[in-house]
Amino acid sequence: MRQQRLLNPTLRDVPGDAEAASHRLMLRAGLIRQLSSGIYSYLPLGLKALGHIQTIVREEMDRAGAQEMLMPALHPAELWKASGRWDVYGPELMRLQDRHGREFALGATHEEVITTLVKDEIHSYKKLPLTLYQIQTKYRDERRPRFGLLRGREFLMKDAYSFDRSTSGLDASYQAMFDAYVNIFTRCGLQFRAVEADSGAIGGTDTHEFMALADVGEDTIVHCPACQYAANLEKASGTITNTSATTAEMPNTQPAKVHTPGITSIKQLSQFLRIEPQQIIKSVAVQANGEPVIALIRGDLEINEIKLKHVLGVDEITMLSETEIAALGSIAGFIGPIGLSSVRLIADSSIQGLTDAVVGANEADYHLQHVDVQRELADILYADVRNVGQGENCSHCGHELAFAKGIEVGHVFKLGTKYSESLGASFTDENGLSEPMIMGCYGIGVSRVLAAVIEQHQDERGISWPNAIAPYSIHLLTVQVKDEARMTLSEELYLSLTRAGFSVLWDDREERPGVKFNDADLLGFPLRLTVGKKANERIIECKERRSGSAYELNVEQLLTHCQSFFN
């Protein structure tokens, strides 16, 4: 391609609201342009990179035995009503009416569509297992789209769905997809980790998220540097050790009230009483299925709402208001587990063994000191309802756990029969018995992968593409396009490289050398060739974008050099 003709509007500066590096670079390098909040056009270079990712996804999906198809984005509301999700999802599910006033959803995901299709077309166990996939635009009306393609309202997803006759069959389908994901993200040049995750509203059992490591990532992953353990913070567990300072044998001092006027936060209390937060027991009052519950946790740690919901067996929990707290006979900021009747208590294991702890006194401006959990809360129920804290150890091998931020680029789920039962997708087995199909579903955020690749492959000069994803492999620059000899040599190189199968962008623009070199660094293709002052000696300059190494080559060596560089 000759750059003179390419639609590639590069920018020096970007709008201030572009916070993520990849978002800024995709705008500056002319890969995307925003149409509306969370909604983007792909310009030619952006679409080429997106296309390479799709090719890798297709190759690995096909190799894993999945079959590509394509489903509509317009879903009749009846489908989502049949699965019960029409009312579960709120404004995030985009809805519209057709000319007859019939209601439709814009597809946010396709469990309903695919399960209904398979229900109608597959009846015998002989046709299982079956894994179908599509690469298709999804619509989710995010409340706060941000970071460019990382969280958009219209985005490209590869979503696959597996149908098996048994759980062991599902396990095999799941593993095949898992392995394909490892290949896909590796080939895309991503640093990633597969982490145990929470299955959330979609339900099902096992589920793993594939996290691209990046500081801009919204997810926190907990991983063990020594063994393979890795989990999303939503699900991660570690082992806590209460130091002897907080579990020392206490002579039988009884809990005593201490005046703590206006002291309601852990930080204030820790400073006021000159004690560590580890010695304070935080009481978090929530409403679960209309019932008040107080969750107790060590003062330096945080309640994990997802774990708490699982332990309480509810879908939703809300914080109690001040009036609701008062109705319990307590007062906000001074809630404690002692002296409250008829309130369910749940204790995080982090408070187990604390002997000289401080809790709210359920009285304004008072706390209780010298609480011995074993003595005062003898029959309390312990559970793991916390976010893993800094310094906790791996429950598998004991090594201290590490934390990292990640971008969720893939998510694989064992769905079970959740959709096949609600939508009636069943098969007849050898004995003519009808059984619900056992499903899995597997997503990759294809447009999110593009942004994640750029997050991980960029520097202060611009993008530095992994070879497999670069819009073009080679950037051919002619310095002084008015120089006949240089243009002739450039044309010769462009033709021979293209014929050899390399994708080449030839910068034939009438621009100063500095502009061309800066743009080449910004666009970041792996290999830059410059036809300049030694053109008449048939010598060109090469510069490798990633390594930065620069060297001269004579034209005769060029083809073999490019072949070895790219293989």
Q: Which of 253, 251, 229 lies closest to 239 in space, CA to CA?
A: 229
Residue 414 pairs in a beta bridge with 440
Please, are residues 464 and 221 in contact by the beta-carbon 8 Å criterion?
Answer: no
CB closer to ligand 9G3 out of 44 and 200: 200
Closest contact distance (angstroms) between CB of 350 and ligand 9G3 is 31
Closest contact distance (angstroms) between CB of 110 and ligand 9G3 is 7
Closest contact distance (angstroms) between CB of 348 and ligand 9G3 is 28
Establish if 315 lies at the interface with ligand 9G3 (CB under 6 A): no
Establish if 283 lies at the interface with ligand 9G3 (CB under 6 A): no
User: 397-402: which pairs have CB atoms within 8 A and are 24 or more residues apart?
Assistant: 397/224, 397/226, 397/227, 397/229, 398/239, 399/224, 399/225, 399/226, 399/227, 400/225, 401/222, 401/223, 401/224, 401/229, 401/236, 401/238, 402/222, 402/223, 402/224, 402/225
Closest contact distance (angstroms) between CB of 108 and ligand 9G3 is 3
- Amino acid in position 547: S
Q: Which of 112, 159, 356, 408 binds ligand 9G3 (CB under 6 A)?
A: 159
- Token pair in block for residue 506: 């030839």
What is the Rg, in whole angstroms, of the alpha carbon atoms belonging to the chain? Answer: 30
Establish if 109 lies at the interface with ligand 9G3 (CB under 6 A): yes
CA dist., res. 450 & res. 456, Å (int): 10
Total residue length of the chain: 567
CA distances from 173 to 176, 184, 417 (A): 5, 16, 15
In the bound state, the residue with its beta carbon closest to ligand 9G3 is: 443
Q: Which of 235, 67, 300 lies closest to 163 in space, CA to CA?
A: 67
C-alpha triplet 62, 68, 73: angle, nearest 5°: 145
Burial of 424 per CB tally in 10 Å (0-12, 13-18, 19+) = middle
Q: Which of 443, 432, 434, 414 lies closest to 119 in space, CA to CA?
A: 434
Closest contact distance (angstroms) between CB of 188 and ligand 9G3 is 18
CA dihedral 383, 389, 391, 397 (to 10 degrees): 50
Total residues at interface with ligand 9G3 (CB under 6 A): 13
Exposure letters 21-31 (e unless 16+ CB within 10 A, then b): bbbbbbbbbbb
Could you say which residues in the range 393-412 bind ligand 9G3, by CB under 6 A?
411
Could you say which residues in the range 442-461 bind ligand 9G3, by CB under 6 A?
442-443
Q: Which of 1, 73, 108, 213 binds ligand 9G3 (CB under 6 A)?
A: 108
Q: Which of 71, 202, 226, 559 binds ligand 9G3 (CB under 6 A)?
A: 202
Contact segment (CB under 6 A) with ligand 9G3 among 322-330, 334-342, 435-443, 511-519 equals 435-443
Establish if 89 lies at the interface with ligand 9G3 (CB under 6 A): yes
Establish if 198 lies at the interface with ligand 9G3 (CB under 6 A): no
CB closer to ligand 9G3 out of 416 and 443: 443
Closest contact distance (angstroms) between CB of 263 and ligand 9G3 is 42
Establish if 92 lies at the interface with ligand 9G3 (CB under 6 A): yes
CB closer to ligand 9G3 out of 419 and 472: 419
Contact segment (CB under 6 A) with ligand 9G3 among 366-374, 424-432, 436-444, 519-527 equals 436-444
CB closer to ligand 9G3 out of 18 and 79: 79
Establish if 93 lies at the interface with ligand 9G3 (CB under 6 A): yes
Contact segment (CB under 6 A) with ligand 9G3 among 283-291, 320-328, 441-449, 470-478 equals 441-449
Closest contact distance (angstroms) between CB of 426 and ligand 9G3 is 21
User: In this structure, what DSSP letter does residue 340 have?
Assistant: -
Establish if 497 lies at the interface with ligand 9G3 (CB under 6 A): no
Q: Which of 83, 43, 106 lies closest to 439 in space, CA to CA?
A: 83
- Amino acid in position 8: N
Q: Which of 342, 341, 369, 340 lies closest to 356 in space, CA to CA?
A: 369
Closest contact distance (angstroms) between CB of 152 and ligand 9G3 is 13
CA dist., res. 390 & res. 96, Å (int): 47
CB closer to ligand 9G3 out of 440 and 462: 440
Establish if 298 lies at the interface with ligand 9G3 (CB under 6 A): no
Establish if 194 lies at the interface with ligand 9G3 (CB under 6 A): no
Establish if 140 lies at the interface with ligand 9G3 (CB under 6 A): yes
Binding residues for ligand 9G3, per CB under 6 A? 89, 92-93, 108-109, 140, 159, 202, 411, 413, 441-443
